[in-house]
Amino acid sequence: MFWDKVKETLAPDELAKLQLKRLKKTFKSAENIEFYRKQFAEAGVRFSDIHTIDDVRKLPFTRKQDLRGGYPFGFLAVPLKKVVRIHTTSGTTGKPTVVCYTRNDLDAWAELIARNMTMVGLGEDDVFQNMVNYGMFTGGLGFHYGAEKIGMTVIPSATGNTTRQIEMIQDFGVTAIHCTPSYAMHLAEVAEERHVEFPSLKTGIFGAEPWSESMRAELEEKLGVTAYDSYGLSELFGPGVAFECNERDGLHIWHDYYLVEIINPQTGEVLGDGERGELVVTPLLKEAMPLVRYRTGDVTFRMEDGCLCGRMQKIGRITGRSDDMLVIRGINVFPSQIEHVLLSLPEVGNQFMVYIDRMNHLDEMSIEVEMNREYFHGELQDLTRIQAKVVKSLRDVLELRTSVKLVEPGSLPRFEGKAKRVIDRRGEM
Amino acid sequence: MDVKNYIIRQISVFSENKPGRLASIAKAFQEEKINILAFSIAEADGFGVVRALVNLPDKAFQKLTSLGYNVAFTDVIAVKMKDEPGGLFEIAELLGEAGINMEYAYAYSGKEAAVLIIRVDHVNEAVTRILSKGGTLLEAKIFS
């Protein structure tokens, strides 16, 4: 099934024409942003230099930390009054990354979700429970409006309260769910413990964190769904950027929306089809916040073979990161954010270690940080109070509950070369 | 009466809850020939505070600090109890009547007597009140 068959199956030459037109428009629009005016000037590139889509390579990359420099509205290409919604996502340090949407942006985004959901056979006969955060996280509202657009019956159940989630799936005859794969695993286990089944369920959409084929098999068996991988990031609207079709062999990325390159993250060299590297995207339809060659940090490759479904070129499922970003329970965390928080607290030192484990299929992050000698006055409550303060400060910034262990001053490893402060013990998911 | 005579300096050591920490602290005391008179461990989430009354508190402080330990002095008082059934009750009741709020306490039963070590909010006031209620406090010099 297609939502927009013409666009979804554009022939390569038509697609290239459309991409070029939109790339030029994006360049023009980016020139409204001071950051890009400077970048383009430094790179010595002008509008008149863009003749083919490959000319995108003349343009400089945009990194996540660049967006931080523009906080809050430095990357807006339109007046704020044209912005109808703001989302945020984790920044590398301190302030979050701000993402703004015009009315057209929201429509374009919902259109993408509509394509994706139609592609996997969902439509107005379906009842859809959206079990992700509905706040600043783009997964909630993003899927919500796309699902409404195709006429699904949408239950904005958001996160938490697994008992209630199970009850709603049963009572409302839910046919499709969207959540992180780890939450789906948790849901399946709780249901199993309680001998609950979900006869109405047929489709599971899982995203926001990487997951394996063995996890897919397990989720399908336990929940009785066909499981689809969903990919996106807030800087490129949110979820919906790429999605699996019924073949479930790679993700269809929407080339009329996104100009895709794969690069060697060390050298910036552009790689060919089949070569694994960092996904770099120039969004072609973003109005409020156009981006140029945005480095997603996600590692994938362009698949060489076409797809039986007839849609455009796929990318492989994401296999990792080219930077040190962590995905904890679907939330993006940069070690630099943790460092920033700890540096702001005089009670603790600036050495720290981060451990990530998976307990009952949910990610747990624990942080060890050294006590500052000056703040220990001999009482246990000195320590517990500081511990609570660190937990709260981290939660405020990361929007994530962590466990914090205070350790003795001088006891954590000191790194001479590249610090290895993060120990991920989750294994393959 | 000088209230100061009754205020005892307890050594408090921040320690992670992991094997060998206590042995390491005890070894340090042994090396410096420091005698431990009373001792307790308070534990929270993965870490704790080792508390000790020792005969050479300054030396203990120095030694542990030189080993990298995070050490602090804490003022405590030591209330003498009868080493017989009801001994603790008598003292506990006295402390209650004196309006003393304990943050923590630990006890030992030694040659001299049974002793209740307590940490209180306002130590000077506590000393005065306990003495006025007829309690007996051990003087700090007994511990050195």
The tens place of each residue's pLDDT in chain A, 429 residues long, gives: 999 999 999 999 999 999 999 999 999 999 999 999 999 999 999 999 999 999 999 999 999 999 989 999 999 999 999 999 999 998 877 788 999 999 999 999 999 999 999 999 999 999 999 999 999 999 999 999 999 999 999 999 999 899 999 999 999 999 999 999 989 988 998 999 999 999 999 999 999 888 888 889 999 999 999 999 999 999 999 999 999 999 999 999 999 999 999 999 999 999 999 999 999 999 999 999 999 999 999 999 999 999 999 999 999 999 888 998 999 988 889 898 998 999 899 999 988 999 999 988 889 999 999 999 999 999 999 899 999 999 999 999 898 999 999 999 989 988 876 778 999 998 766
Q: What is the pLDDT of residues A319-372, one digit of tens each?
A: 888 998 999 988 889 898 998 999 899 999 988 999 999 988 889 999 999 999
Q: What is the pLDDT of residues B44-103, one digit of tens each?
A: 888 999 999 999 999 999 999 999 999 999 999 999 999 999 999 999 999 899 888 899
Cα of B72 to nearest chain A Cα, Å = 5
Cα of B16 to nearest chain A Cα, Å = 6
Nearest chain B residue (CA) to A405:
B46
Q: For residue A176, how many other CB atoms are within 10 A of its CB?
A: 26
A377 with B74: Cβ contact below 8 A: yes
Chain B CB contacts of A376 under 8 Å are: 14, 70, 72
Q: What are chain B's domains?
A: 6-74 (3.30.2130.10), 76-143 (3.30.70.260)
CA distances from B31 to A212, B12, B16, B49 (A): 56, 19, 22, 21
Helix (H), strand (E), coil (C) string for chain A: CCCCHHHHCCCHHHHHHHHHHHHHHHHHHHCCCHHHHHHHHHHCCCHHHCCCHHHHHHCCCECHHHHHHCCCCCCCCCCHHHEEEEEEECCCCCCCEEEEEEHHHHHHHHHHHHHHHHHCCCCCCCEEEECCCCCCCHHHHHHHHHHHHCCCEEECCCCCCHHHHHHHHHHCCCCEEEECHHHHHHHHHHHHHCCCCCCCCCEEEEECCCCCHHHHHHHHHHHCCEEEEEEEEHHHCEEEEEEECCCCCCEEECCCCEEEEEECCCCCCECCCCCCEEEEEEECCCCCCCCCCEEEEEEECECCCCCCCCCCCEECCCCEECCCCEEECCEEECHHHHHHHHHCCCCEEEEEEEEEEEECCEEEEEEEEEECHHHCCCCHHHHHHHHHHHHHHHHHHHCCCCEEEEECCCCCCCCCCCCCCEEECCCCC
Chain A CB contacts of B15 under 8 Å are: 408
Q: Which run of H or E residues covers position B14?
A: strand B8-16
Dihedral class, residue A248 (left if φ above 0, else alpha if ψ from -120 to 50, else beta): left
Put simply, whether B47 touches A (Cβ < 8 Å) is: yes
Q: For residue B30, how many other CB atoms are within 10 A of its CB?
A: 11
Mean pLDDT score of chain A: 94
Cβ–Cβ < 8 Å for A371, A347: yes
ipTM above 0.90, yes or no: no
B45 with A378: Cβ contact below 8 A: no
Chain A CB contacts of B45 under 8 Å are: 384, 387, 403, 405
Put simply, whether B74 touches A (Cβ < 8 Å) is: yes
Distance (Å, whole) CA A145 – CA B59: 70
Residues 6+ positions from A126 with CB-CB distance below 8 Å: A152, A153, A175, A176, A203
What percent of chain B stands above pLDDT 70?
Answer: 98
Distance (Å, whole) CA A424 – CA A420: 11
CATH of domain A1-323: 3.40.50.12780
A405 with B47: Cβ contact below 8 A: yes
| pLDDT for position B123 | 92
| pLDDT for position A428 | 65
Burial class (CB in 10 A: 0-12, 13-18, 19+), A27: buried
Which ranges in chain A are annotated with CATH 3.30.300.30?
331-424
| pLDDT for position A92 | 79
Q: Among residues A197, A205, A190, A122, which one has the least CA distance to residue A160?
A: A190
Dihedral class, residue B5 (left if φ above 0, else alpha if ψ from -120 to 50, else beta): alpha
Residue with the two structure tokens 């996890």: A215
Structure tokens at A34: 């001071």
| pLDDT for position A429 | 60
B44 with A410: Cβ contact below 8 A: no
Interface test with B, best of A386, A387, A408 (most B CBs within 10 A): A408
| pLDDT for position A320 | 87
Distance (Å, whole) CA A189 – CA A55: 50
Query: Which of these CATH numbers, 1.25.40.10, 3.40.50.720, 3.40.50.300, 3.30.300.30, describes A331-424?
Result: 3.30.300.30
B44 with A380: Cβ contact below 8 A: yes
| pLDDT for position B6 | 95
Torsion of CA A16, A22, A28, A29, to 10 degrees: -150
Which ranges in chain A are annotated with CATH 3.40.50.12780?
1-323
| pLDDT for position B113 | 82
| B111 band by pLDDT with thresholds 50, 70 and 90 | confident
